Amino acid sequence: MKNKYLFPLILFLLAVVLPYIVPEFWVHVLTEILIMGLFAASFNMIFGYMGQLTFGHAAYYGVGAYTTGLLMVKANVPLLVCLPLSMFSAGLCAAVLGYFCVKLRGIYFAILTMAFGQLVYYIIFQWYSFTGGDNGLQGIVPPAFLGRAANPYYFFTLIVVALGMIALWIISESPFGYTMRAIRDNAERTEFIGINVQRYMHLNFIIAAMFAGLAGALWGPFNRSVAPDLCSWQHSGMPVFMTVMGGPFHFLGPLIGSAIYTMLMAFVTSFTEYWPMVSGIVIIVVVLVMPGGLLGLLGDRLPFLRKNERSAKETNG
Amino acid sequence: MDDTGNIVLQIDRLKKSFGKYKVLTDVSYSLPKGEIAAIIGPNGAGKSTFFNLITGYHLVDGGTIRFMGREITNWPRHRIARTGISRAFQVSNIYPRLTTFENVRQAILSQQRRTLNIFTPAHRLARKNTLELLELTGLLPYRDTLAGILSQGDKKKLELALALAGKPELLLLDEPTAGMSSEETHETMELVKRLNREIGLSILFTEHDISVIFGYARKLSVLYQGMVIAEGTPEEVRKNEEAQKCYLGEEV
Ligand SMILES: Nc1ncnc2c1ncn2[C@@H]1O[C@H](COP(=O)(O)OP(=O)(O)OP(=O)(O)O)[C@@H](O)[C@H]1O
Ligand SMILES: [Mg+2]
């Protein structure tokens, strides 16, 4: 029981030590892994825990990114103030759009989330005077106290992402989190034990969007700019791939998936331009060989990874 | 004298069709508080449909449903459950990928209105109540088993546990002993009887097993061709000619 915290602890220590060992390029990669990892973990609150596939989660990531970008560029608001405001704006957006999405299930849910995602993308793309349209927003710089080197912003990201992941972990283990598992397993029965399933799904949708917004908020200062592509459906596909790779039935699956995906991309793009093909092949292999993701596969061998989540194939019978 | 205070469930002129097919044409029914009653009828008579209407699974086409004097017709399912009607399904309807313990805890947390809590680890809550209910329903040995791989009989016990977790005023059991061994059937029905006697729980069940029907129900209603064609104590129904023709004759 005690060693269920061992794996996350090792990961954290690794995250603290690595930037001192690897070249600066890889520190940037690590930063990206963390940001995308938090994004993917927030996606998995809807996918792994609630059992619905969203194909528009990047909209909330993008809204978070633009909230921080606009506030910093146009109003000089400090980054630390921008972060909660980004969560708020992403959550607000999800409160409105999610209201309609949670009326649907399965493929219809996926399609509506995707359609709303494209709507957000389109608004940002078209609203030239406010968002900069397809040029995006430039000149988003991390606060002065973090300097210009790679490491300080990396550690800032590490702290924010770690706190975000801890918050998501607490939520996922709470009665609310178990209610999400119950809805995933049998939404109908959940109504008959007195739970307003739609309302709970809506709340979870908002929570997931808030943490996507937080991840998005970290992106602008890291990349020095934001662009409408952050909201596109292609970008919504990233957490899907990452989560499937890492394992949707483990809390850390999405983060591990982000590490594999991001590192592979950084590695492959450094010597070939055929990254989309490589990533396609990797995803096919993952889906065919390890349907529970990497942690699902390892979990069958390493008991400390199992906790109380189980890989999907065990219970299909 | 006004006796509505003693009626848990009052149903008037209930109608339900699926497309052109009329399942319930005109059903009126009333269940006194603290009663233990059975609805019987051949396969496809509409017994499950009757339960589905009471619990909000289907919308009614006509008629009214009153619970403790309050009209609940076509309320949303979760609201009907909250108001005090729990139900165990004919085909077990549980959480296959959660453990037996987690199944029951989920229903208890819902009854305690703690499911909006996002801060406290679930494993610290409702532990005692969950273990008690598992003990009561004979599921304690399987607490850590995934509910999806329980035996048919144990799934039905879990159904019962999920329904009881709601601390209902009225318990609807749709063939509670289907798929159980005769020993399990006896245990389960004894438990149901005990709950009725000790905490005055009102119970309405359906069954095909004649020994269960006549052994436990104090009131019987025969549902046939969309209507209640006979009603009364088991003895009265046994003697009723129409009931014999339509239903009992085949099996007694
Ligand atoms: N959702 C539905 N759509 C269409 N027809 C339905 C639906 N539910 C039930 N029926 C039909 O209504 C009739 C009554 O079904 P119901 O399940 O209520 O019978 P029952 O008395 O519970 O039978 P059993 O003893 O086999 O459980 C059946 O002919 C069934 O096919
Ligand atoms: Mg039935």
Structure tokens at B140: 């304690």
Range of the domain at B162: 91-167
Q: Which of A64-73, A139-148, A192-201, B143-152 has the lowest mean pLDDT?
A: A139-148
Ligand 1 atom nearest residue B49's Cα = 18
Mean pLDDT value of segment B211-222: 94
Local structure of B90: helix, strand or coil? coil
How close is the Cα of B104 to the center of ligand 2, in Å?
A: 24
Same domain, B2 and B76: yes
Question: Where is the domain boundary, B167, B200, B218?
Answer: B167
Mean pLDDT of the residues in chain A:
91
Q: Are residues B10 and B78 in the same domain?
A: yes
pLDDT at res. B124? 96
Chain A positions in Cβ-Cβ contact with residue B98 (cut-off 8 Å) = 178, 181-182, 185
d(C-alpha B147, C-alpha B106), whole Å: 13
pLDDT over 50 at A55, yes or no: yes
**Min Cα separation A314/chain B (Å):** 9
In this structure, the residue with its CA closest to atom 6 of ligand 1 is B18
Instruction: Report residue A199 as tokens.
Output: 């309302």
Whose atoms come closest to the Cα of B22: which ligand? 1
B67 and B11, same domain (yes or no): yes
Contact B78 A196 (CB under 8 A): yes
Whole-number pLDDT of residue A2: 56
Q: Which residues of chain A does B95 touch, with a Cβ-Cβ cutoff of 8 Å?
A: 181-182, 185-186, 189
Judging contacts by C-beta atoms under 8 Å, the chain B residues touching residue A171 are: 118
Residue A290: pLDDT band (50, 70, 90) is confident
Residues of chain A with C-beta less than 8 angstroms from the C-beta of B96: 185-186, 315
Pocket of ligand 1 (CB under 6 A): B 18, 23, 41, 43-49, 90
Q: Is the model's pLDDT at A15 over the cut of 90? A: yes
* pLDDT tens digits, one per residue of A85-129: 999 999 999 999 999 999 999 999 999 999 999 999 999 999 988
Pairing of strands B70-71, B85-88: unpaired
Torsion of CA A29, A32, A36, A38, to 10 degrees: 110
Shared domain check, B191 and B80: yes
Question: Residues B149, B128: one domain?
Answer: yes
Task: Report pLDDT for B247.
Answer: 64
What is the CATH classification number for the domain harbouring A187? 1.10.3470
| Average pLDDT over every residue of B166-170 | 96
**CA distance linking residue A254 with residue A48, whole number of Å:** 10
Q: Judge whether residue A306 has pLDDT over 70.
A: no
Q: Give me the mean pLDDT over the A238-245 stretch.
A: 94
- The rounded mean pLDDT for chain B is 93
Q: According to the model, what pLDDT value does residue A303 have?
A: 53
Give the pLDDT band (50/70/90) at residue A65.
very high
CATH number at residue B44: 3.40.50.300
Please tell me which residue, A227 or A278, carries the higher pLDDT value: A227
What is each CA distance from B24 to A300, B74, B80, B115, in whole angstroms?
51, 16, 21, 36
pLDDT band of B206, cuts 50, 70, 90: very high
A311 vs A14, more confident: A14
The whole-number average pLDDT for the span A75-89 is: 96
How many CB pairs lie under 8 A apart between chains A and B? Answer: 110
What per-residue confidence (pLDDT) applies to B83? 96
- Residue B82 in this model has a pLDDT that exceeds 80: yes
Q: Give me the number of domains chain A comprises.
A: 1
Is residue A261 a contact partner of residue A235, using CB atoms and an 8 Å limit?
no
Query: Which residues does B180 contact at the CB level (< 8 Å), separation at least 6?
Result: B152, B153, B156, B188
> Is there a single domain that holds both residue B76 and residue B101?
no
Percent with pLDDT over 70 in chain B = 96
The more confident residue out of B248 and A69 is A69
- Does this model's pTM top 0.90? My answer is yes
Q: pLDDT class for A270, splitting at 50, 70, 90?
A: confident
B74 and B112 together in one domain: no
State the distance from the centre of ligand 2 to the C-alpha of B174, rounded, in angstroms: 7
- How many whole angstroms from B87 Cα to the centroid of ligand 1? 17
Q: Which domain holds residue A132?
A: 3-314
**In this structure, are B215 and B238 located in the same domain?**
yes
Which residue does chain A place closest to B91, by CA atoms? A189
Number of folded domains in chain B? 2
pLDDT band at A148, cuts 50/70/90? confident
Please determine, for residue A316, whether its predicted confidence score (pLDDT) is greater than 70: no
Do B39 and B95 lie in one domain? The reply is: no
Assigned token pair, A179 = 């209610």
The confidence score (pLDDT) of residue A313 equals: 36
pLDDT at position B250: 53
Select from B214, B193, B211 the least CA-distant residue to B202.
B193
pLDDT in tens, A17-38: 999 999 999 999 999 999 999 9
Alpha helices (runs of H) in chain B, residue ranges in sequence order: 47-54, 77-83, 100-111, 127-136, 152-165, 182-199, 210-216, 234-239, 241-243, 249-251
Residue found under tokens 């915290």 = A5
Tokens linked to B101:
């313990």
> Does the pLDDT value for residue A144 go beyond 70?
yes
Are B194 and B76 within one domain? yes
In this prediction, residue A157 carries a pLDDT of 97
Confidence of residue A294 (pLDDT cuts 50, 70, 90): confident
pLDDT tens by residue, A207-223? 999 999 999 999 999 99
Written as one letter, the residue type at B194 is: R
Between residues B247 and A56, the one the model is more confident about: A56
